[in-house]
Amino acid sequence: QGRPVESGGGFVQAGGSLRLSCVAEPYYFSFDSMAWFRQAPGKDREFVGGISHNGSAIDVIDAVTGRFIISRDNAVNTMYLQMNNLKPEDTAIYFCAPQMGLGPLAARPFDVWGQGTQVTVSS
pLDDT for res 73: 97
Other beta carbons within 10 Å of 77: 17
The rounded mean pLDDT for the chain is 97
Q: Are 70 and 81 in contact (CB under 8 A)?
A: yes
Contact (Cβ atoms closer than 8 angstroms) between residue 32 and residue 102 = yes
In sequence order, the β-bridge partners of residue 2 are none
> What pLDDT, on a 0 to 100 scale, did the predictor assign at position 53?
96
Across the range 79-106, mean pLDDT stands at: 97
Element (H, E) at 22: strand 18-23
- Nearest partner of 109 among 120, 119, 100, judged by Cα: 100
Predicted confidence (pLDDT) per residue in 5-38, tens digit: 999 999 999 999 999 999 999 999 999 999 999 9
- What pLDDT, on a 0 to 100 scale, did the predictor assign at position 91? 98
How large a percentage of the chain has pLDDT more than 70? Answer: 100
